Amino acid sequence: MLGYEIGALVETAHFSYVFHVCLPIADEIGALVETAHFSFICGNETVFSQDSLTCTYRDEAFPCDQARTLYDLSNAEFGRIPEKK
């Protein structure tokens, strides 16, 4: 979807009420086999905010029409589990 293999991406065509999570599926040697795609809807009068990767109230959310400018930055660490010190 949109050329991304992993991350949370807002659906700007739906005014940020819908967002997608993409997850790469690899084979036993680590080669990408496919990308799983999951879609979600923000509830209770909230929208998806690309900067925090959460559903929040529209007046607190990053502007939907500018969300694509954050795709790379906000997803740079998506899905990574920090190592314990």
Higher-confidence residue of 9 and 31: namely 31
Question: Could you tell me if residue 80 is inside a domain?
Answer: no
At 81, phi and psi to the nearest 5?
Answer: -105, 120
Question: Could you tell me if residue 59 is inside a domain?
Answer: yes
Specify the pTM. 0.73
pLDDT digits 0-9 by tens, 31-61? 999 989 898 999 989 999 999 999 999 999 9
β-pair partners for 57: 46
Question: Could you tell me if residue 84 is inside a domain?
Answer: no
pLDDT tier at 4, thresholds 50, 70, 90: low
DSSP 3-state of 47: strand
How many domains does the chain fold into? 1
Question: Could you tell me if residue 38 is inside a domain?
Answer: yes
DSSP 3-state of 48: strand
Residue range of the domain that includes 69: 7-74
Question: Could you tell me if residue 17 is inside a domain?
Answer: yes
pLDDT digits 0-9 by tens, 11-34? 666 677 888 888 889 999 989 999
